[in-house]
Amino acid sequence: MILKGDQILDYKIDKIWQFIVNTDNLAKCLPNVKKLEKIENGFSAKIVVAIGFLKGTFDGKFTYSEVKEPNYLKINGEAKGMGSFVKLSLQINLSQEIDKTKFSWVADVSITGPLASIGNRYINDVAEKIVNDLFSCMLSNLK
């Protein structure tokens, strides 16, 4: 499943880059993160997920597989929980546009297990909420 979006942010590219590569910022801004730890070349996370009538905890490991500061970041990860397995490849592109930055992202998500049977409708709704919460938190913390 491919999820993507973009947003124009009223901050310079360097400020946004420093924010997104800081694991403390991720821990503050990713919804329902119960634990996030920096590991070599990435981070591990324990995240509570609720999709439809299912709710549970996922344990995941995410690595920065490609870094081109300050324009491009690729994060690959895997998480297990609720009898399901999630594989993620996230690409973030930042481009400076005068005093603003265009933040574009594409996530390729593969889900197996009970969560996959729920269907894309619920998963897309949850993903959209996570992204909106992340951007809201990022904007309030960049000020």
- Do 54 and 114 form a contact (C-beta atoms < 8 A)? yes
Provide the pLDDT confidence category of residue 117 given band limits of 50, 70 and 90: confident
Tell me the whole-structure pTM to 2 decimals.
0.88
- pLDDT confidence of residue 80: 97
Instruction: Sort residue 75 into left (φ over 0), alpha (ψ -120 to 50) or beta.
Output: beta
As to burial, measured by CB atoms within 10 angstroms (0-12 exposed, 13-18 middle, 19+ buried), residue 131 is middle
Query: CA-to-CA distance for 12 and 111, rounded, in angstroms?
Result: 35
Q: Tell me, what's the pLDDT at 120?
A: 63
Torsion of the alpha carbons at 92, 89, 107 and 40, rounded to the nearest 10: -50
Provide the pLDDT for residue 10.
Answer: 93
Give the gyration radius of the chain's Cα atoms. 15
**Cα distances (angstroms) measured from residue 44 to each of 65, 106, 124, 135:** 14, 21, 23, 21
| Mean per-residue pLDDT over the chain, rounded | 88
Rounded mean pLDDT, 15-35 = 88
